[in-house]
Structure 1
């Protein structure tokens, strides 16, 4: 649901997974959905939706991956849950905790799985680091770890990527 750049990587992972299928691609226009399918070598059998509601209304869709701008997550994530779709929501999941609470409540009340797109928590390296840092003889008892990460966007990213579009921010 959405054709953001990060969706290319996720669609590739879904395609490579032996127990999953990309059933449909939804975008704000059918042409964007078609271009996404072509650029990512998706099967011609993949349903193309020029409206997010078309995807959510489809009973054949079990789960939705949503890389939309964060300001749109609350609306579309709650609608996805109300339509019985499990949800993989790209990070950050919400603009603030009250929005996240509403999204989680919508998933929970409909018996659906919620997962955020923060791969770091789910990556095998994280488990290895945790195991390594648990060595009391080497590190002692660790009480806190502070870290940060950053990204230097190219001029193309800063001009064209959805997360930096000011018209999609909540006013």
Structure 2
């Protein structure tokens, strides 16, 4: 068991939160400390259906999750229109923020979220799992086969310039 576990609170009971919470439960360095919903009954049912640890607290509000001292980070699977509000509040309460995609409705909202996280000294991450998925590694491997595809070029060069498609 790792020395430090990240204690997550989840804001909302969206379907995508089922998958992400399952991944959290399988991870050796995370635990689910709390779940909050607009309805206490819904949060209780969600925690039970998704096999949250008995120690996980269940709340009938999102604010209660943010006020919980046993929560280090929050996962926000709420509708995108609510992300800026809850991400900024989480950052102000010194909670690290994991936002479901898309993270914001526009770049201005993203800038607000990032500024709040930076000024509070907390980490921000979006829930873009594809870049960490084994399928992506395999796709890169297949596409790098010059015998099959020749030399591929892209608009963005990872070394900081343009390949000039």
Smaller-chain TM-score bracket: 0.7 to 0.9
Partner residue of 2:129 out of 119, 132, 142: 119
Q: Over aligned residues, Cα RMSD in angstroms? A: 1.7
Structure 1 residue 137, shift from structure 2 partner: 4.7
Query: Counterparts in 2 of 1:1-171, with a 5 A limit?
Result: 1-144=11-154
| Corresponding residue for residue 6 of structure 2 | none
Residues in 1 aligned to 2:89 and 2:99: alpha-carbon distance in whole angstroms = 13
Between 1:110-119 and 1:86-95, the stretch displaced more is 110-119
Structure 1 residue 87, shift from structure 2 partner: 1.2
Deviations 1:47-89 (A, max 9, x none): 0111111111112100111100000001001111111111111
Structure 1 residue 142, shift from structure 2 partner: 2.2
Structure 1 residue 116, shift from structure 2 partner: 0.9
SS of residue matched to 1:22? strand
Residues in 2 aligned to 1:38 and 1:45: alpha-carbon distance in whole angstroms = 12
SS of residue matched to 2:32? coil
Residues in 1 aligned to 2:25 and 2:52: alpha-carbon distance in whole angstroms = 8
Structure 1 residue 128, shift from structure 2 partner: 2.8
The TM-score, its normalising length taken from structure 2, stands at 0.81
Residues in 1 aligned to 2:31 and 2:59: alpha-carbon distance in whole angstroms = 16
Residues in 2 aligned to 1:135 and 1:103: alpha-carbon distance in whole angstroms = 40
Unaligned runs of 5+ in 2: 1-10, 156-165
The total of aligned residue pairs comes to: 145
